[in-house]
Every structure is written in C-alpha cells, then in structure tokens.
Chain A
Amino acid sequence: MKETDVIHVSKDRPEKGKYVKPLFRGLNFIFKNFLSKPVTLQYPTEKTQRSQRWRGLHRLEVDEKGELKCVACGLCARICPSEAITIVPYEEEGGIRYPKKFVINELRCIFCGFCQEACPKAAITLTEVYDYIDYNRTDFIFDIEKLKIPEQFKFTGK
C-alpha cells in the first residue's frame, strides 16, 4: 500500500493528555450557564412577541357605533383560495347591506391574508392569535359572534 492510499481522517489530532484542559473549560462554561438566566419561556403564561403583520385568527372590524363594517360584498369569499369563507348577504330597504351569516372555517383557512387585502372596507383583519385550540371540529367554524373578538381564544393554559 502506498502512502498516498492512506486517508488521514484527523490530521490535527491533539497529543496525548491535551484533552484535560478542554474538559475543565467545558465545566467552567456549564457553570457559567448555570448561573445565568434561562433563555426559555414558560409558554402559556409567557409568550414571545408576534410581528404586527402576523396572520392569525380573523377579526370582523366594527365601526364606532358597534356595527360591522362589512358590507357583504363577497370579495373575500371569492378570493379565498381554500374556500373557507361563506357569506349570506342581507339588504335592507334603505340600501344598507350587511352579512346575515359570515362563517369562516378556520380548519380550511391557510392564513394567506388575501381576504384582508381584498376587502374594500378594511372590515376583516388577521390578528396575532395563533394558538386557538378546541375539542371539536365544529368549534373551529367561526360565526360572527366569535369573529368579533378572536382575542378571547388566546391559549392561557386553562
């Protein structure tokens, strides 16, 4: 066998006994870690800050009189790629339109944010709520009452 056939896996292997000092450096490092504050968070009670552009659960905005801004034009339902939004419009005699039913299936939703972009009245926005959990699939089908205050579904560990 020629010398060139030999593959040296580790060329700069330290000499015998050279590993003793690094062992103590490791111990020192771990002790410094032991004295410093943990970097983890206690999740349900402490949470990291979401970005302002975070796309979480939907909210139906209300105006200053407490009525829905939504005029039930159906653009959001139209643009929704996963067909998660169902709207049943209702028009009064005076020409005021509002949604009779506004249902979002949060299990179908892919949180792309197209509905927010498409809305001409800025009536639907995506909030920072990202950890809604529940027991039944039907609980994830949000109606108007649930969509008005999505902040109540923030997970707090209870």
Chain B
Amino acid sequence: MVEYLIIPVIKLIVMFSVFLFIAAYTTYMERKFLGHMQMRYGPMRVGFHGLLQPIADGIKNFFKEDVIPENADKAVFVLAPAISIAAAIILLSVIPFGPPIKILGREINLYLANPSIGILFILGFSTLGSYGNILGGWSSGNKYGYMGGLRASAMIISYEISMAFAVVSIIMVTGSFSIVDMVNAQTGLWNVFKQPVAFLVFLISGVAELNRTPFDMPEAESELCCGYNVEYSSMKFALFFLAEYIHMIVFASLVATLFLGGWHGPAFVPGVVWFFLKMFAVIFLCIWVRATFPRLRYDKVMKLEWKFLLPVALLNILATGMVMAVL
C-alpha cells in the first residue's frame, strides 16, 4: 500500500510542483541572462530585480482573451497545446535526479519510474511533443502557422535521427536501455570522455529538436512572425511555451544524465545538487548559444543534419562497435 500508492503520489506531487516552478523560473533566467549577454538588464520592475516576473506573466496570461480564429479547425486547435504540454510533462517521470535517499528508514529512489526502456520512452515522447507544434500550426488556418507546422515536421523527421544515433552509442557503451543503469555506469568516467563525438552530435541535434535559435525554424520570428503559435493567445500560448521550457529542462537533464555523469560528482555536496548544477549549466549553454548565433537558413539546417550530423553519428557508432569488438 505504502510502497505502491502513497510514496509514488507524494513523489508525483513534489516532482510536478518542483519542475513546473523550475520551468517558470527558467523563463526568468533566460530573459535575465539574455539581457545581460546583450548588455541590458532584462526584467527589473516586478519584485527585486524582476524576481516575480514569471508569476506576473502567468497571471497576465490567465486574464487574456482566448481567441479562436474563425477558419481554424477548432477541435485540433484546442487539442494541440494539450498534446504539447502532456507529452512534455510525461518525460519528467523517467528522469533520475539523484541517488536513492533514506527517509524514515525507507529507501526512496529519486525518480518516478525506471522502465527498462527508459531512453526509448524519452525519444518517443519527445517526438510526440512536436505533434503539438505541427497540429497547432496546421489547424490555425493561417499561412504562417502552416509554414511553421511544416517546418516543425521537417525538423523532427531529420534531427530525431542523429539524436537517436548519438544515444545508440551510449546504449552500446552501457549495455542497457535503462537511464538509471546509464548513470550508474558512469561512476568512474563520464560518458562525455568516452563518447565526445556523440556528445557533440546529441547537443547540436538536441538544440535543434528544442526548436531554439539557431535552429528555431518553426517559430522564426523574423520570417514567419512566430510560426506555429501565431494564432494562439492566452493560456494556450502559455502552455506552448511551458511545454517548450519543460522540453528544455528535460533535454538539459538528459545531457546531464547521459553524458555528464548524472548525480555523480565529488562527494562534498549531495548528488541531487550535482544533478541540478549540471542541468542548469546545460540550460545556460542553450541560452548562451541563443544569444550568440543567428538563425541558420532553412536549407542549411537540413544540410547540417543530413550531410554532417547523420554521417558523423553513424561513423561514431561504427567506431564504437569496432573498439568494443577489439577490447
């Protein structure tokens, strides 16, 4: 009873609130860091140095008028943000964010579930999240939204492949599909040193998968005026953005768990702290890249994937297999 109902429910509530809080404050972090990288302050007015800005944004979004365009496909239009946010939040359930801890004599694992196919689960559901973008753009009845949706589908078709191949080399090194096993296998040496090429490929295609600058094809503000979410307003718009930031958190924690050793680190601070430090370092990297690079042209994005990342990832798998066969 306690083992199968109460503890999971408590974990669920705690994880849900903590990660939604982090997602809200990632928007603040992004705006603040982006501001300072462009030598301005970012949000400063609401609270001390704008600390209450995410809350103010949330309240504002709640009270905005909810517009559904006349020639939109209404059912799909309403469904799209729900798909987006649901597929994003479900990803959090398999992220292990700390070593097992003891509370009241009970050993508690710091993850909600540890399926034996954890990494496949993440790859599958992160792609499912893009359906929210595609359907949202498609059902808006707007040509910019339609273009954004088309680009979103092109992005998942291409970048999912190199991302999965980068993960395949990690699976080969670990010998397991379970994310917890992957973290445990990195006790001595982190995967980033064993698989530096896979790390780079995963990082680049992950940023592309998140639809962030320099690969923000579906929402390209300057060419598609926000692309797939151009017709969305109020909480629907906010849900899209919440989903995007949760995807970013999941991506950052995936990089941390697959390549940067998860919760492993020098023992003077607990493993949970190490995990969140690594996660925020990757989020910072995302923001840094966003502040630096301009958006790539559409055909160059496709060229980068099909002519560079995919062959490199395949060769990396080949090399990994050869090394494993020899050793």
Stretch in A35-43, A70-78, A110-118 touching the partner: A35-43
A29-48 interface with B by 8 A CB criterion: 29-31, 33-34, 36-40, 42
Residues 35-64 of chain B: 1 if any A CB is under 8 Å from the residue's CB, otherwise 0? Answer: 111111100100000000000000000000
B267-307 interface with A by 8 A CB criterion: 288-289, 291-293
Residues of the A chain whose Cβ atoms lie less than 8 Å from the Cβ of B38: 33
- What is the bound-complex CA distance between A30 and B35, given in angstroms? 11
Residues of the A chain whose Cβ atoms lie less than 8 Å from the Cβ of B288: 27, 30-31, 34
**B39 and A33: CB pair below 8 A?**
yes
Indicate whether A36 sits within 8 Å of B44 (C-beta atoms), given known contacts A27-B288, A27-B292, A30-B291.
Answer: no
Residue of A at shortest CB range from B44? Answer: A42
- What is the bound-complex CA distance between A89 and B31, given in angstroms? 58
**B293 and A39: CB pair below 8 A?**
no
Residue of B at shortest CB range from A41? Answer: B41
Shortest distance between the CB of B243 and any CB in chain A (Å) = 27
Q: Is the interface of B mostly helix, strand, loop or mixed?
A: helix
Q: Residue among A27, A34, A36, A38 with the most chain B CB within 10 A?
A: A34
**A42 and B41: CB pair below 8 A?**
yes
Residues of the A chain whose Cβ atoms lie less than 8 Å from the Cβ of B292: 23, 26-27, 29-30
Number of A-B residue pairs, CB cutoff 8 Å, is 37
Residues of the A chain whose Cβ atoms lie less than 8 Å from the Cβ of B289: 27
Residues of the B chain whose Cβ atoms lie less than 8 Å from the Cβ of A33: 36-39
- What is the bound-complex CA distance between A38 and B288, given in angstroms? 16
Residue of A at shortest CB range from B35? Answer: A38
Shortest distance between the CB of B150 and any CB in chain A (Å) = 28
Find A36's partner among B39, B41, B291, B293 (CB 8 Å cutoff). B39
**A38 and B293: CB pair below 8 A?**
no
Interface residues on A, range: 10 to 19
- What is the bound-complex CA distance between A37 and B33, given in angstroms? 12
**A30 and B40: CB pair below 8 A?**
no
**A38 and B291: CB pair below 8 A?**
no
**A38 and B37: CB pair below 8 A?**
no
- What is the bound-complex CA distance between A23 and B39, given in angstroms? 20
Residues of the B chain whose Cβ atoms lie less than 8 Å from the Cβ of A42: 41, 44
Residue of B at shortest CB range from A39? Answer: B39
Residues 107-133 of chain B: 1 if any A CB is under 8 Å from the residue's CB, otherwise 0? Answer: 000000000000000000000000000
Shortest distance between the CB of A41 and any CB in chain B (Å) = 9
Shortest distance between the CB of A29 and any CB in chain B (Å) = 8
Shortest distance between the CB of B116 and any CB in chain A (Å) = 39
Shortest distance between the CB of A32 and any CB in chain B (Å) = 10
Residues of the B chain whose Cβ atoms lie less than 8 Å from the Cβ of A39: 39-40
Indicate whether A38 sits within 8 Å of B33 (C-beta atoms), given known contacts A26-B292, A26-B293, A27-B288.
Answer: no
Residues of the A chain whose Cβ atoms lie less than 8 Å from the Cβ of B35: 38
Shortest distance between the CB of B276 and any CB in chain A (Å) = 21
Residues of the A chain whose Cβ atoms lie less than 8 Å from the Cβ of B40: 38-40
- What is the bound-complex CA distance between A38 and B49, given in angstroms? 14
Residues of the A chain whose Cβ atoms lie less than 8 Å from the Cβ of B41: 38, 40, 42
B14-39 interface with A by 8 A CB criterion: 33, 35-39
Shortest distance between the CB of A144 and any CB in chain B (Å) = 37
Residues of the B chain whose Cβ atoms lie less than 8 Å from the Cβ of A36: 39
Shortest distance between the CB of B207 and any CB in chain A (Å) = 13
**B33 and A23: CB pair below 8 A?**
no
Residue of A at shortest CB range from B36? Answer: A34
Residues in B lying within 8 Å of A, measured CB to CB: 33, 35-41, 44, 288-289, 291-293
9 contacts between A and B (CB under 8 A): A23-B292, A23-B293, A33-B38, A34-B33, A38-B40, A39-B39, A40-B39, A42-B41, A42-B44
Q: Which 10 residue pairs spanning A and B have beta carbons closest together?
A: A40-B40, A30-B292, A34-B37, A26-B292, A39-B39, A38-B39, A38-B40, A30-B37, A30-B291, A38-B41
Residues in A lying within 8 Å of B, measured CB to CB: 23, 26-27, 29-31, 33-34, 36-40, 42
Given A26-B292, A31-B288: 9 more A-B contacts, CB < 8 Å: A27-B289, A27-B292, A29-B292, A33-B36, A33-B39, A34-B36, A34-B291, A40-B39, A40-B40
